[in-house]
Amino acid sequence: MDFPYIVEPRRDTGLYNAKLGIWLFLASEVMLFGALFSAYVLLRVGAEPGMWPHGWLNVYIGTANTIVLITSSITTVMAWVSCKLRQYRRFKFFHALTIVLAMTFVCIKSYEYHDKFTHYEITLANGKFADGHLVERSKDFDLAKKTGRVTIHGHEVDHEVELMDMQRPEARHIQREELTIPATDIKKMERYGPWHHTYLAIYFTLTALHAFHVICGALVIGFLWGPGSRMWHTDPERFTNRIEVSGLFWHFVDLIWIFLFPVLYLL
């Protein structure tokens, strides 16, 4: 059985099936991310005054990832143009670039996640706070038994609120050094995971969902670059449509990041 409108557009809509399908899917995706952006606004406005973090993420890494994703968008569109021009080798080149850029994005994001999961806020027994990246734990370190010690590369502050705004001018002059803290002096030790702060909760939710989209998109693009490209030799028009549809999804992923970057990294 042949399905109609796989290649040729329907006369009334002017669209082939997959194109209408991907746009309907993207519409649902807008609402999915919209709900999470709404949650971000509510969490931010609902935070105690002075307790919403600024500057917790590395702007330069975020900028690099933005450039990677924007570049992948142009390679995707160039891959589609190459298909339309019946330039198969150029298509393969641009799509390979897109896959490499997608993997680069995921690697950079993984580095950022690792950075957060090795970053600790330590509530000290004297009421002060130590904040920094884990350097090492002694072998006998056990917070429950109060044995051993932990070393972080960071700094100490009197109040937790001082850890919130790392964009303030004074924060640029913070001297970070290695601090070795015995377990007996530690009241609470928490890494910068999603449970640490509502900002991190929404940061991980939004960026993990976005990274999931990047990975899924890269898998589809990888399939169309590899085994899926066999269709080019039998039905190039339909294959070109597939490249267009996967490209639309990829541009949407880029579009979401365009908003995530300033909202999470800069504001």
Partner 1 sequence: MNNSMTMNSGHSPESAHSVRGYIFVFIALLAGTFLTVWASFIQFGSREINIAVALTIASVKAFLVAAYFMHLISERKMIFCVMGFTALFFAGLMGLTIWSTSPDSMVHIQHVP
CA distances, 204 to each of 44, 53, 130 (Å): 15, 14, 23
The two tokens of residue 86 are 């019946």
Strand 149-157, strand 129-137: pairing: antiparallel
Specify whether the backbone of 92 is left (phi greater than 0), alpha (psi in -120 to 50) or beta: alpha
Among positions 86-125, residues that touch partner 1 (CB under 8 A) are 86
Least distance in Å: CB of 30 to partner 1?
5
* Residue 72 contacts partner 1 per CB under 8 A: no
Nearer to partner 1, 150 or 264 (CB): 264
CA distances, 179 to each of 106, 120, 123, 205 (Å): 32, 12, 13, 31
Least distance in Å: CB of 172 to partner 1?
11
Least distance in Å: CB of 123 to partner 1?
22
* Residue 223 contacts partner 1 per CB under 8 A: no
* Residue 161 contacts partner 1 per CB under 8 A: no
Nearer to partner 1, 57 or 181 (CB): 57
Quick one: which segment of 134-142, 182-190, 204-212, 236-244 binds partner 1 (CB under 8 A)? 236-244
* Residue 266 contacts partner 1 per CB under 8 A: yes
HEC string for 117-174: HCEEEEEECCCCEEEEEEEEECCCCECCCCECEEEEEEEEECCHHHHCECCCHHHHHC
Quick one: which segment of 117-125, 130-138, 192-200, 244-252 binds partner 1 (CB under 8 A)? 244-252
* Residue 220 contacts partner 1 per CB under 8 A: no
* Residue 30 contacts partner 1 per CB under 8 A: yes
Beta bridge partners of 123: 129, 188
CB contact at 8 A, 209 and 176: no
CB contact at 8 A, 125 and 187: yes
The residue type of 40 is Y
* Residue 21 contacts partner 1 per CB under 8 A: no
* Interacting residues with partner 1 (CB under 8 A): 7-9, 13-16, 19-20, 23-24, 27, 30-31, 34-35, 37-38, 41-42, 45-46, 48, 59, 63, 66-67, 70-71, 73-74, 76-78, 80-81, 84-86, 233, 236-237, 241, 244, 247-248, 251-252, 254-255, 258-259, 261-263, 266-267
